[in-house]
Chains A and B, each alone.
Chain A
Amino acid sequence: MTPENWLTWFRDWLARHPLRQPPEFLGRNYTTEVLIRIKQSRPSPSSAFRWFSLPRFSFALGTVMACVLGVLVLLNSSDRSDTDVNETLELLEQVEPSGLLSLGEDSISDEDLLEDLQTLDETGLPSA
């Protein structure tokens, strides 16, 4: 059979043999089922807030919010105290740049201290 003949034969065969007809489910029931599915899938206005009415969900949400708030407050205060200390140190450094604030350096030597005590001893205490 040539392609042309085959095409003619096949078209003729398809014309005599249509697709099988669907059973009874098509028609009004089919349409009703589609509409029901559409209406069921539509979000109702209250559905977005429905979860908030559940006590367990509300409690869990409240706990999570409290934890988040607590962590945020702690982080914020910690940052602020660090910043305050740094700013104070910088300010003092500007006022007295000679290194008096350096904690590791002993500013009065033992000899100076001894000399001061001797001077005090020689001078005496007027009231004594």
Chain B
Amino acid sequence: MALDRAATADGTLSPVMATDTEIIQAVLGGDIDQYGELVNRYQLAAWKLAYGLVGNFEDAKELSQNGFVKAYRHLRQFRGKSRFSTWLYRIIVNECKDFFKAKARQPLTVSLSSDDPETDEPVLFEVADPAGNPRDAMEDKELAKKISRAIQKLPLKQQTAFVLCRLNGLSLEEASGAMGVRLGTIKAHLFRAMENLRESIQ
């Protein structure tokens, strides 16, 4: 049995050795604390996905945690046809959609204001260290702002495809699973996103 392979000598499940499926079986069997291992494994990716979409540290934390809680509640519905991470990303994408609906999609003026204390504009990316050439650092930061602004202005489907594939490094197949669309559709969203970004940035 799969669980036996990951079981330690005292019969408990070894989180480090266990696969996602084994952990899920243990959680469904009543061992809720094992779910913490899944949270440990995917919290950074989940947070990055939410952050790339909403552009705010605290909102990203809240939405990604909501995703984990919702995934737990519906864990019995997870059939294992896709990876747990893909299923989780889909839940988080839906959480972010609901977030935008609730906030009437105003990320630039409302939700991103606290990330950069100097201005009210979002900077999604790490920028050059100001200790180097200050002029380069300034230009780098301006460009980072411009790109961040352009990403946030993308239509939501294009933005989601871009964040999943370009910022979170998902494959096209994984991204199509996370968005619940066909492979061709995700390619089209990604292509249009890149075109829109090119027009915005140049």
A residues near B (Cβ < 8 Å) are 1, 3, 6-7, 10-11, 13-14, 17-23, 25-27, 30-35, 37-39, 41
Verify if B127 is at the interface (C-beta below 8 Å from A).
yes
Q: Which B residues touch A19, using CB under 8 A?
A: 48, 51-52, 124-126, 167
Q: Which A residues touch B197, using CB under 8 A?
A: 10
Can you list 17 A-B contacts (CB < 8 A)? A11-B166, A17-B125, A17-B127, A19-B48, A19-B52, A21-B126, A26-B47, A26-B61, A30-B39, A30-B65, A31-B40, A31-B43, A34-B35, A34-B39, A35-B33, A35-B36, A35-B39
Interface string of B121-153 (1 = CB under 8 A from A): 001111100000000000010011001000000
Q: Which A residues touch B40, using CB under 8 A?
A: 31
B44 touches A26 (CB 8 A): yes
A38-B35 CB under 8 A given contacts A19-B125, A19-B126, A20-B124 = yes
Q: Which B residues touch A13, using CB under 8 A?
A: 143, 147
In whole angstroms, how far apart are the Cα atoms of A21 and B47 in the complex?
10
- Find the A residue at minimum CB distance from B64: A30
- Find the A residue at minimum CB distance from B73: A41
Q: Which B residues touch A22, using CB under 8 A?
A: 44, 47-48, 51, 57, 60-61
Query: Closest CB of chain B to A88's CB: distance in Å?
Result: 62
